Chains A and B, each alone.
Chain A
Amino acid sequence: MKVGILSGKGGTGKTTVSASLAAVVPSCQYIDCDVEEPNGAIFLKPELKEKSPVKVLVPEIDMTKCNFCGLCAKACQFNAIAVVKDKVLVFPEICHHCGACKIACPNDAILEVERTIGVVEANEDGTFLQGKLDVGEPISIPIINELKKHIKEDRFVILDCPPGASCAVVNSIEGCDYCVLIAEPTPFGLHDIKIAVQLVKNMGIPFGVVLNKASNDNRSIHHFCQSEGIEILMAIPFSKEIAEGYSKGILPVEINDLWNEKFKKLYEKIEGGAHK
């Protein structure tokens, strides 16, 4: 089964929860879909053996065939190609690799060439995978799609998703059997979790909430979950020990057995929640 771990905002402990689950669930697969800022490897410390570049197709103009008619530029919805007098300019970074320009060209003057925008890295047995968008590249979706091709369907798969609520998150959790939303009771936390809740509801995926840095000073998310009938799967209290561990790249489950047990319980609840 596939479980997406997400949060409306970054920095709420998404990776702590994903990596802790990965550490306690036997023979599971962990996939870091937060390809803009992947952090899972810092905690899980895999030995990355396989590295394959992620390539996309972008247009290249055969100047011997082009008559500067401008139809390609008209077809491109992303302003990634422009025709000026006797030049055709391609802006490969903002190209969405759709192929519309090639279809539009009446002179067969457009070829498509491969361009690398990032990398997918894996450990030897493919139980840890991460994607990395190259610095300066705007479009991350092809890397997420590439990662998802490597999902091992017969295992418990943990997808550590990007923050936010945009198309990158939609692509990451599409096809998931269950989602875990991480929320922090900061003053903004309630606002952020509502966005994540709406997203998974729209996609019809069953879900539960994990409260990170829970404290009695702010129970707004508790109340929200109660009134919406959302299950709180686990509450991780604020602890100096956990925060210190986090800063060094150490997971709560490595600090003591208690957390080991708690994350195993979380795993059971997820299994239960997905089969309801």
Chain B
Amino acid sequence: MKQIVFISGKGGTGKSTLVSSLSLLVQNKMLADCDVEAPNLHILLQGEILKKRDFFGAKEAVIDSSACIKCGLCRKTCRFDAISEEFEIKPMKCEGCGACTLVCPQNAIKLEEVKTGETYVSNTSRGTFSHALLDIGAEGSGRLVTEVRKNVNAYKKDEEWLLIDGSPGIGCVVIASITGTDAVVVVSEPTKSGQSDLERVLGVAKHFGVPAFVCINKYNLNLKVTSEIEEYCENNGYPVIGKIPFEPSIVKALQEFKTPIEAGNKVITNEIKNLWARLVDEVENLKKA
């Protein structure tokens, strides 16, 4: 199974809409949403949940106050300011590193696993779908992303593709989304900030050795920036595999949870079909090379 991950740097560039559109066009695939902090794909896919599990992706220190002699060593050791003056753990700040447990003369501190989110596997009309939701403010979002990708394996039959809706940024969640995939597609927008986000996120793909391709969404909103992005991609060896125009009718259709495909927008449907055909070619070529 080939894994293709769609990321955007910032979010709000139409990544989920593209993945959802492709989920209608591409046959024989599975789906995953790795944007665990603000997942959206499940809203469009509306599947039936096959499996739901609590995920324990972090640890937290717990002090047994009956054993504590208030010596203060733990507080001095903790580098995350996670122990209060009254020797209580501040859950929002504790990284679960365990340093405090090693210095406590009373053995009064233990690390406990904490729930950081929920994972789901759903059956949808467009394929089996793995997703998750991070608990509000939780640590370890990267581990939850890894779990979403792991869950795919347990339900894999002989699907040819895995389409992954990736996460924003360039940090731990993105790294967990893209490592070991066959290709990254960066969905970008022709704005000055989009351009800056694109360059940084392409840098991450390169750093981890994942082949990267670019799709410019709403390209007609600023043709000058679009051509600057194209030039950058050309000079740095990132193929631009699609340019999708902005049309107000897409926004209208989306308000009713319809992708451009379902709304019957021919121009955009064709663009997305071409993008996929081009991507399939590129991925085949990579295999040969």
Taking beta carbons and an 8 Å cutoff, which residues of A are in contact with B?
8-12, 15, 36-37, 39, 42, 75, 77-78, 96-100, 103-104, 133, 135-140, 162-170, 174, 184, 186-188, 191-192, 195, 198-199, 202-203, 217-218, 243-244, 246-249
Contact = CB atoms under 8 A, between A and B. Distances in A.
B208 interface: yes
Contact of B12 (A9, A78, A103, A191): A9
Given A98-B99, A187-B43, A244-B221, A136 B134 contact: no
Contact of B10 (A11, A97, A247, A248): A11
A220 B255 CA distance: 10
- Interface core residue of B98, B137, B257 (most chain A CB under 10 Å): B137
B37 A202 contact: no
Given A42-B192, A164-B37, A166-B137, A217 B169 contact: no
Interface in B160-208: 168-175, 189-193, 196-197, 200-201, 203-204, 207-208
Contact of A199 (B8, B136, B197): B136
Given A8-B38, A103-B103, A138 B203 contact: no
B224 to A, nearest CB: 8
A163 B168 contact: yes
A9 B99 CA distance: 34
A103 B251 CA distance: 56
A37 B43 contact: no
Given A168-B171, A187-B257, 5 more contacts: A9-B11, A42-B193, A98-B98, A243-B221, A244-B221
Contact of B175 (A138, A167, A218): A138
B280 interface: no
A100 B98 contact: yes
B102 A163 contact: no
B79 A166 contact: no
Contacts of A138: 142, 171-172, 175
A169 B191 CA distance: 24
B207 A167 contact: no
B12 A98 contact: no
A111 B79 CA distance: 16
B200 A135 contact: yes
B38 A135 contact: no
B255 A10 contact: no
Nearest to B174: A36
Nearest to A167: B139
Contact of A186 (B136, B189, B196, B254): B254
Q: Is the interface of A mostly helix, strand, loop or mixed?
A: loop
Given A37-B169, A138-B172, A166 B37 contact: yes
Contacts of B127: none
Task: Sort A-B residue pairs by CB-CB distance and give the 3 closest, nearest first.
Answer: A11-B12, A10-B11, A98-B97
A167 B80 CA distance: 13
Given A103-B77, A191-B43, A165 B169 contact: no
B128 interface: no
Nearest to B144: A166
Contacts of B99: 98-100, 103
A27 B55 CA distance: 46
Nearest to A168: B171
A244 B190 CA distance: 10
A248 B12 contact: no
Contacts of A164: 37-38, 141, 168-169, 173
Given A36-B169, A138-B175, A164-B38, A247 B254 contact: no
B89 to A, nearest CB: 15
- Interface core residue of A103, A133, A162 (most chain B CB under 10 Å): A103
28 contacts: A9-B38, A9-B168, A10-B8, A10-B12, A37-B9, A39-B196, A42-B193, A75-B102, A77-B96, A78-B97, A96-B97, A98-B95, A103-B77, A135-B203, A135-B204, A136-B204, A138-B172, A164-B37, A164-B169, A164-B173, A166-B37, A169-B137, A188-B38, A188-B40, A191-B43, A199-B136, A244-B221, A249-B193
B102 A247 contact: no
B61 to A, nearest CB: 10
Given A103-B77, A188-B16, A167 B190 contact: no
B172 A247 contact: no
A136 B208 contact: yes
Nearest to A37: B197
A145 to B, nearest CB: 9
Given A37-B196, A77-B98, A187 B10 contact: no
A247 B139 contact: no
A192 B39 CA distance: 8
B192 A248 contact: yes
A165 B12 contact: no
A167 B138 contact: yes
A10 B92 CA distance: 22
B59 interface: yes
